[in-house]
Amino acid sequence: MLLREVEYARPSSVDEAVRLLASHEGARALAGGQTLVNVMKARAASPDVLVDLSRLDDLRSITVSGDTLQLGAMATYTQIMASSEVDVSRPILAEVAAQIADVQVRNRGTIGGNVCSNDPTNHLPPLLVALGASMTVRGADGERSVPAEEFFLGVYLTAVGEGELLLSVSVPATANAADGFASITIGRDGTCIASAAASLSEGAPRIVLGCVDAVPILVTPAAADEVSVREAVAGAELEPPSDVHASADYRRHLAAVCAVRAVEQAADRGR
Ligand SMILES: Cc1cc2nc3c(=O)[nH]c(=O)nc-3n(C[C@H](O)[C@H](O)[C@H](O)COP(=O)(O)OP(=O)(O)OC[C@H]3O[C@@H](n4cnc5c(N)ncnc54)[C@H](O)[C@@H]3O)c2cc1C
């Protein structure tokens, strides 16, 4: 048998989904299944109940209201890439979504699943911290908003607690976004070995490094020039993991390279 036996529910409202998640210990939300089903196959996770979010159309919407772009947790990478709302308000999201894995993964994988799994090699956690995003989380006691900087707590660990559901991700919408993203991947569309996202849109430069710690690391250089960026990355005193793809030293070097590239891209766009 491929998977351990598991109960399955497909709620038709957010209320029902939250009720199911809160009332069953060992219940897990199922979004695109691109991570969850794989870890279930590997027996690294074995939820008792899968709460399939696929009928919750409200969680798929992408809207701009005033100066906020709101992406429902079930918006797929393909949807984000095709969205005119994203295109006019924060196009870097579409550009980075297009770099994730392959067409199959992009058709199924969701922004909510990407951030809730918080794999340190994922593309979106550093990007969303750089953009100053916030996450809306719903539990049995109601809704709360969590800044992206406080959302990622550890490897595969986020502010979404047991029995809670991520509803949406909000990003400041800005007509002249000066954002950039750079990564070094395993193969052309593969997993990131090092990544960095940069935003120069909100005054002081924000650079966020991926793959160097359990959570995205925010650094704020005094200026957006190469020397200041390298100094800020060095000042973060990174202790990245060492593995078959890169030693800790090499990953530290790549973090600085990606940070400089991401800032250069952001600066070019802000001109
Ligand atoms: C071959 C392959 C290559 C990949 N390469 C990359 C890559 O290079 N970069 C990258 O960023 N990602 C990569 N991924 C991961 C991919 O982006 C996944 O789609 C994503 O990490 C999980 O999204 P999902 O919608 O499939 O979530 P699922 O797998 O369904 O769920 C993942 C986790 O999030 C939880 N969850 C999902 N939605 C919610 C919600 N709304 N509220 C609460 N909890 C929720 C689930 O319970 C589960 O624990 C790759 C995946 C594959 C299979």
Instruction: Kindly give the distance from the C-alpha atom of residue 184 to the centroid of ligand 1, in angstroms, as a whole number.
Output: 20
Q: What's residue 251's pLDDT? A: 98
Instruction: Kindly give the distance from the C-alpha atom of residue 226 to the centroid of ligand 1, in angstroms, as a whole number.
Output: 33
Measured distance CA(172)–CA(51) in Å, rounded: 30
Enumerate residues 6+ apart whose C-beta is below 8 A from 215. 118, 120, 125, 152, 153, 154
Q: What's residue 105's pLDDT? A: 97
Nearest CA to ligand 1 atom 43: 165
Instruction: Kindly give the distance from the C-alpha atom of residue 116 to the centroid of ligand 1, in angstroms, as a whole number.
Output: 7
128 Cβ below 6 A of ligand 1: no
Measured distance CA(88)–CA(72) in Å, rounded: 17
Instruction: Kindly give the distance from the C-alpha atom of residue 140 to the centroid of ligand 1, in angstroms, as a whole number.
Output: 24
**φ/ψ of residue 79, rounded to 5:** -65, -45
117 Cβ below 6 A of ligand 1: yes
Q: What's residue 189's pLDDT? A: 81
Measured distance CA(232)–CA(226) in Å, rounded: 10
Instruction: Kindly give the distance from the C-alpha atom of residue 118 to the centroid of ligand 1, in angstroms, as a whole number.
Output: 8
Percentages helix, strand, coil for the chain, rounded to the nearest 5? 35, 25, 40
pLDDT in tens, the chain (271 residues): 578 889 999 999 999 999 999 999 899 999 999 999 999 999 888 899 999 999 999 999 999 999 999 999 999 999 999 999 999 999 999 999 999 999 999 999 999 999 999 999 999 999 999 999 999 999 989 999 999 999 999 999 999 999 999 999 999 999 789 999 999 999 888 999 999 999 998 778 999 999 999 999 999 999 999 999 999 999 999 999 999 999 999 999 999 999 999 999 999 997 7
Which atom of ligand 1 has the smallest separation from the CA of 37? 29
- What DSSP designation does 18 have? H
Helical segments of 109-194, H only? 111-117, 124-130, 148-151
Nearest CA to ligand 1 atom 10: 122
31 Cβ below 6 A of ligand 1: yes
The answer to whether the predicted template modeling score (pTM) of the entire model surpasses 0.85 is yes
Place of tokens 């991520």: 166
End-to-end CA distance of the chain: 57
Nearest CA to ligand 1 atom 28: 33
| E strands in 84-231 | 134-139, 142-147, 152-154, 157-158, 165-172, 179-185, 192-199, 206-210, 217-219
Whether the Cβ atoms of residue 50 and residue 6 lie closer than 8 Å to each other: yes
The number of beta carbons lying within 10 Å of the beta carbon of residue 235 is: 11
Q: What's residue 118's pLDDT? A: 93
166 Cβ below 6 A of ligand 1: yes
Measured distance CA(173)–CA(158) in Å, rounded: 24
Q: What's residue 1's pLDDT? A: 59
114 Cβ below 6 A of ligand 1: yes
Nearest CA to ligand 1 atom 51: 34
Which atom of ligand 1 has the smallest separation from the CA of 156? 49
